[in-house]
Chain A
Amino acid sequence: WLPSLQLVRRGSKAVTRHWKAMHFQRQKLMAVTEYIAPRPAVPPRCLTPRRETVEKEDGYRRLLQRQVQEVFRDNRMVAVCQYNSMPDEEVVLMRHYLRKHNIEVKFVLNEIVRPVLSQSKYKNLLPLFVARNILLVSPETKAKEMLRVLKGVPQVNLLGACIDDTILSRQGVENFAKLPSLEASQGQTVGALSLLPSQTSSLLQRGPAHLTALLDQHLRRLRDEGMGGMAGGTESMAGGTG
């Protein structure tokens, strides 16, 4: 049984090498049955985004946080500086000069330092940790030398420091550097305190010393007069009083 209608109009077969236009009915069918992607009622941009923060390698992160905690615990002086990109040789030079004063340079990531700080007592250092920072840590408090080295490096700007659990601004650090050393100030206090007691003893002795001086003078005058003619009576009297 052969079909009654055989479309042989143009003479080209169904499968051609050129792009053959679809039959109009087929075109209509294809247009009607096109795929429409399902869209949510509210576009996802308008909704609050789901927090997809992945715990970035938990172990490494914890290690770095532990290191930061140790740094804050073991060092008396912790200075926070802003780091603008410097050529590598200058970084090495700066590290070298600071090492001479026992100051270590540490590069830190804000996202690690922030949670550590917020849980410790250094909450006021939190606003400092924005943009790239470095920490200069040292068990000694050599602020003057640190400031001198940093002056030679224009691309590192001192923002603030925490010295002996006291948070200082840049002016605070400069004032701290101008202070005399601990031994000198201790000596100054001791000297000031002992000044008054040293004066007291001389003050107390002033009265009797004056009296003895006057009596000595009197003795001498009597002796001189006594040499002139008086008997041993005055001498004995002078000897009794003297």
Chain B
Amino acid sequence: RKMASKISVVLRPVKSIVVRFCPFETNVESTRKFLQCINHKKIQATNRNCEVTADVRHDGSEPVVDVKFADGDRLIMKGANLTTVEMLRALGSRCSAKDIKEEQKSKKKSH
């Protein structure tokens, strides 16, 4: 059941992550757990430059995770109806895809 901490995410291609939620709402559980998992030692160790900020509001807005990548891409996940595992998997898959692309680019440059 503790799958959320076992999903490893490589944060190298990520520049910043902003997690916005309203704690007095009832649909924020998965977003809060996502924030907790992202702040885990292992994931933070993959990229020390990645800034993770938590934006705590009280305006009844939706819980949102805003990820900005180093190459300008942006991933917005609306956590109201997503589970933590789904969000982590989505982020992890995109990060690994970008990582592979970067490795290919660096290989081409070296050739």
**Interface residues, chain A, CB within 8 Å of chain B?**
82, 84-85, 87, 124, 127-128, 130-132, 154-155, 157-160, 169-172
Please pick, from A124, A155, A160, A169, the residue contacting B39 in the complex, using a CB distance under 8 A: A155
- Residues of chain B within 8 A (CB-CB) of A87 are 41
Q: How far is the CA of A159 from the CA of B33 in the complex (A)?
A: 14
CB distance from B25 to the nearest CB of A (A): 7
In the complex the two chains form, is A157's CB within 8 Å of B56's CB? yes
In the complex the two chains form, is B33's CB within 8 Å of A131's CB? yes
| B39 to A, closest residue via Cβ | A84
Residue B18 lies at the interface, judged by CB distance under 8 Å to chain A: no
- Size bracket, chain B contacts: 20 to 34
Known: A82-B54, A157-B54, A171-B58. A127 touches B25 (CB 8 A): yes
- Residues of chain A within 8 A (CB-CB) of B57 are 170-171
Q: How far is the CA of A67 from the CA of B4 in the complex (A)?
A: 31
Q: How far is the CA of A85 from the CA of B39 in the complex (A)?
A: 6
Known: A85-B40, A155-B39, A160-B23. A130 touches B56 (CB 8 A): no
Please pick, from B24, B32, B52, the residue contacting A82 in the complex, using a CB distance under 8 A: B32
Please pick, from B24, B35, B39, the residue contacting A128 in the complex, using a CB distance under 8 A: B24
Q: How far is the CA of A204 from the CA of B30 in the complex (A)?
A: 70
In the complex the two chains form, is A131's CB within 8 Å of B24's CB? no
Q: How far is the CA of A169 from the CA of B57 in the complex (A)?
A: 8
- Residues of chain A within 8 A (CB-CB) of B9 are none
Known: A85-B41, A159-B23, A160-B23. A130 touches B58 (CB 8 A): no
| B84 to A, closest residue via Cβ | A131
Interface residues of B in 50-107 (CB under 8 A from A): 52-54, 56-58
Interface residues of B in 11-39 (CB under 8 A from A): 23-26, 28-29, 32-33, 35-36, 38-39
- Residues of chain B within 8 A (CB-CB) of A158 are 56
| A130 to B, closest residue via Cβ | B29
CB distance from A126 to the nearest CB of B (A): 9
In the complex the two chains form, is B58's CB within 8 Å of A128's CB? no
CB distance from A210 to the nearest CB of B (A): 58
- Residues of chain B within 8 A (CB-CB) of A171 are 57-58
Q: How far is the CA of A96 from the CA of B41 in the complex (A)?
A: 23
In the complex the two chains form, is A132's CB within 8 Å of B36's CB? yes
